[in-house]
Homo-oligomer: A and B are copies of this chain.
Amino acid sequence: MDLSWTEEDKAFRAEVRKYLEANAPKDLPEDETANFEARRQWQKKLAEDGWVAIHWPEEFGGRGASLLQTVIYNEEYTRARAPLLVNSLGVGLLGPTLMAHGNDEQKQRYLKKVLSAEEIWCQGFSEPNAGSDLAAIQTRAELDGDEYVLNGQKIWTSYGKYADWMFALVRTDPSAPKHQGISYLLVDMHSPGVEARPLKEITGDSLFAEVFFSDVRVPKANLVGEQNDGWRIAMTTLGFERGAGGLAQSVRLRNSVLDLIGDAQQVRRNGWTAFDDPLSRNKIGKWLVEIEVYRYTTLRAISALVHGGSPGPEASINKIFWSEWHKSFTEDAMDILGPLGRVTTDESGNIDSQRWVREYLFARAGTIYAGTSEIQRNIIAERVLGLPKEPRGDTKTEKAGER
């Protein structure tokens, strides 16, 4: 066991930090569309400087960075509070999938524009009747000549309203077992018959969209890998998504605690600041403790990955940890800030309470999306602990919670 970073790692970290300090934009516009455009410009700049997808091979515009360097990069990126990538789904999910399973034409056609954010990508996995049972995909793609004809609906599509392209899972063989009739298709969002409707969330924002397909024609050339092999293809990329982001997530959540400490010092309640209240201090101390533990746990998982392990079902532990952390932390933040923490009028005071309300509400989603906490516990119990499987109604051959 040795948790020290090599001199090389440290130098790389310093380089990233220096670049971000010099270049990362601050104070983006509040207006949603303007904000998006500013972030698109920022990704373009990053791409020009070769700092978007450092884990991609150089031939596709990356730096061929190691997993550990990617981890360091992500951590620094989050520490610098640099803006979220507008094309994060393309960079994090589509790119690695195409590099692993796409053909040369597909790689040439798409990858560069992913990096530069010239084409924005969204993910088309979730469906209204699927939920945590992700493989219960009903969107149909029927081959008609050289084209698939798509009908159906996707939901919870991040960047759905901005996206030029969607990588989608669609059912190409309804008669096959649940996981074996699914294909991985690239869908032009500007095709006739595609409609993206913004979905309003409980936060009042519309980060997601519903996407409807009515006889949308997709060239057969847009199939990634073999027909009916989409489930396996999609799963290989989800693993990567979960591996390299944990440390950055710990930085992101720790930033929230630091922000709360700052705001609690501004709010007077009960004759002292909320930060001086012993009950509040105990709670804040708790979340600092837990987020550090999450950081250690993440380092341990990354170390296993770096040294040749696979993320595997332990990723479920990671998911439960941060999503439950975030939910409980924001609940305590509301307790600590009191009535003023519930105000959303901007000019109400010297704390950004609108932010706390939004974070409190948004945190409710973390334990639902990408597999609910309930599903994650199933996965841990069955695949890590080897406990008997849940009886299920659809088919006896698949694993509970598989996705």
Q: Chain A: residues with CB nearer than 8 A to chain B?
A: 277-279, 282, 391
* A277 CA to B278 CA, complexed, in Å: 9
In the complex, what residues of B have CB within 8 A of residue A279's CB?
278-279, 282
Return the contact of A391 from the options B277, B278, B282, B391 (Cβ within 8 A): B391
* A279 CA to B277 CA, complexed, in Å: 10
* A282 CA to B278 CA, complexed, in Å: 10
Consensus secondary structure, chain A interface:
helix
* A278 CA to B277 CA, complexed, in Å: 9
Question: Nearest Cβ in chain B — how far from A286, in angstroms?
Answer: 11
Copies in the complex: 2
Nearest opposing residue in chain B for A282, CB measure: B279
* A34 CA to B8 CA, complexed, in Å: 76
- Listed A/B pairs (6) with beta-carbon separation below 8 Å: A277-B278, A278-B278, A278-B279, A279-B279, A279-B282, A391-B391
* A278 CA to B391 CA, complexed, in Å: 48
In the complex, what residues of B have CB within 8 A of residue A277's CB?
278
Question: Nearest Cβ in chain B — how far from A343, in angstroms?
Answer: 25
Question: Nearest Cβ in chain B — how far from A83, in angstroms?
Answer: 40
Q: Which 6 A-B pairs have the closest CB atoms?
A: A278-B278, A391-B391, A279-B282, A278-B279, A279-B279, A277-B278
Question: Nearest Cβ in chain B — how far from A226, in angstroms?
Answer: 37
Question: Nearest Cβ in chain B — how far from A163, in angstroms?
Answer: 40
Question: Nearest Cβ in chain B — how far from A34, in angstroms?
Answer: 46
* A361 CA to B77 CA, complexed, in Å: 49
* A137 CA to B283 CA, complexed, in Å: 48
Nearest opposing residue in chain B for A390, CB measure: B391
Nearest opposing residue in chain B for A277, CB measure: B278
* A279 CA to B282 CA, complexed, in Å: 8
In the complex, what residues of B have CB within 8 A of residue A282's CB?
279
In the complex, what residues of B have CB within 8 A of residue A278's CB?
277-279
Question: Nearest Cβ in chain B — how far from A393, in angstroms?
Answer: 10
Question: Nearest Cβ in chain B — how far from A167, in angstroms?
Answer: 37
* A273 CA to B272 CA, complexed, in Å: 22
* A277 CA to B279 CA, complexed, in Å: 10
* A1 CA to B344 CA, complexed, in Å: 40
* A278 CA to B271 CA, complexed, in Å: 14
Question: Nearest Cβ in chain B — how far from A378, in angstroms?
Answer: 15
* A49 CA to B391 CA, complexed, in Å: 59
* A391 CA to B388 CA, complexed, in Å: 13
Question: Nearest Cβ in chain B — how far from A355, in angstroms?
Answer: 27
* A360 CA to B146 CA, complexed, in Å: 72
* A391 CA to B279 CA, complexed, in Å: 45
* A278 CA to B282 CA, complexed, in Å: 10
In the complex, what residues of B have CB within 8 A of residue A391's CB?
391
Nearest opposing residue in chain B for A391, CB measure: B391
* A288 CA to B279 CA, complexed, in Å: 18
Nearest opposing residue in chain B for A278, CB measure: B278
Question: Nearest Cβ in chain B — how far from A396, in angstroms?
Answer: 12
Question: Nearest Cβ in chain B — how far from A178, in angstroms?
Answer: 20
Question: Nearest Cβ in chain B — how far from A104, in angstroms?
Answer: 51
Question: Nearest Cβ in chain B — how far from A356, in angstroms?
Answer: 22
Question: Nearest Cβ in chain B — how far from A209, in angstroms?
Answer: 34
* A391 CA to B282 CA, complexed, in Å: 44
Question: Nearest Cβ in chain B — how far from A273, in angstroms?
Answer: 15
Question: Nearest Cβ in chain B — how far from A374, in angstroms?
Answer: 15
Question: Nearest Cβ in chain B — how far from A382, in angstroms?
Answer: 16
* A10 CA to B319 CA, complexed, in Å: 58
